Chain A
Amino acid sequence: AQSVSQHNHHVILSEAASLELGCNYSYGGTVNLFWYVQYPGQHLQLLLKYFSGDPLVKGIKGFEAEFIKSKFSFNLRKPSVQWSDTAEYFCAVTSYGGSQGNLIFGKGTKLSVKP
């Protein structure tokens, strides 16, 4: 069965620090990859997505992610975080084909940014 692993449960950074959140998935076929963000008390919003093409994808609010197929990874990065980036971040994967394709979510990484 497919699964998604997010390496860090809680990350604490100071403003202006660089961010990298790890995400690995287990599925050998073609995948679509997503990062969602959930600000405190709000619903999930899409940060960025990878379907095909350039493995470096850029999303909203200065976030980017790199798909490395050989490593089954889709890490999220931001060069300089802000206090407003405090949120929970979820990596998700879906697959082409098969009888049941749906979004499989990782357990999430909580990011706290200190002002």
Chain B
Amino acid sequence: NAGVTQTPKFRILKIGQSMTLQCTQDMNHNYMYWYRQDPGMGLKLIYYSVGAGITDKGEVPNGYNVSRSTTEDFPLRLELAAPSQTSVYFCASSYSFQGGYEQYFGPGTRLTVT
């Protein structure tokens, strides 16, 4: 049982490039989330999904897109990378959204945009 896995671990992008951050969970969780973590700012929710085919915006969705075609996978897409998107990105999953069940986090992707 691998839990939540993310690839890549590190990536450097040039301004204007695009990329997809991959996230996979093997716990059969319905709910999945993408956060970004900036120094001294805690975690901010980018997008979340309550099940395959259903996604919604979080607090900071601009510049990102997501899709959820399967229960296991929840990729995050950056279309036109900007320096402001330099951050550490964490994917998480949980059994339930309402009721505040524990979220399980992946190891993170450190992204630098130059």
Tell me the smallest distance from the CB of A45 to a CB of chain B, in Å. Answer: 7
- Beyond A90-B42, A102-B48, is A46–B102 a contact (Cβ under 8 Å)? yes
- The answer to whether A94 and B40 touch across the interface, beta carbons within 8 angstroms, is no
Binary CB contact string for chain A from 31 to 47 against chain B (1 if under 8 A, 0 otherwise): 11010100000111110
Q: Which of A13-21, A72-80, A104-112 contacts B (4 or more CB under 8 A)?
A: A104-112
**CB-defined contacts of B44 to chain A, threshold 8 Å:** 105
Number of A-B contacts (CB under 8 A): 55
- The answer to whether A90 and B100 touch across the interface, beta carbons within 8 angstroms, is no
Question: For window 11-39 of chain B, which residues contact chain A by CB distance below 8 Å?
Answer: 33
Is A83 in contact with chain B by the CB < 8 A criterion? no
- Closest residue of chain A to B3 (Cβ to Cβ) is A43
- Beyond A43-B90, A44-B90, is A103–B99 a contact (Cβ under 8 Å)? no
**CB-defined contacts of A28 to chain B, threshold 8 Å:** none
Q: In the assembly, what is the distance between CA of A109 and CA of B103, in Å?
A: 20
**CB-defined contacts of B75 to chain A, threshold 8 Å:** none
Q: Which of B63-71, B76-84, B105-113 contacts A (4 or more CB under 8 A)?
A: B105-113
**CB-defined contacts of A101 to chain B, threshold 8 Å:** 97-98, 100
Is A115 in contact with chain B by the CB < 8 A criterion? no
Q: In the assembly, what is the distance between CA of A102 and CA of B43, in Å?
A: 12
- The answer to whether B106 and A32 touch across the interface, beta carbons within 8 angstroms, is no
B contact set with A: CB distance below 8 Å: 33, 40-45, 48, 56, 58, 90, 92, 97-100, 102-103, 105-108
A-B residue pairs in contact (CB < 8 Å), sample of 9: A34-B102, A43-B105, A43-B108, A49-B100, A95-B100, A96-B98, A96-B99, A102-B97, A107-B40
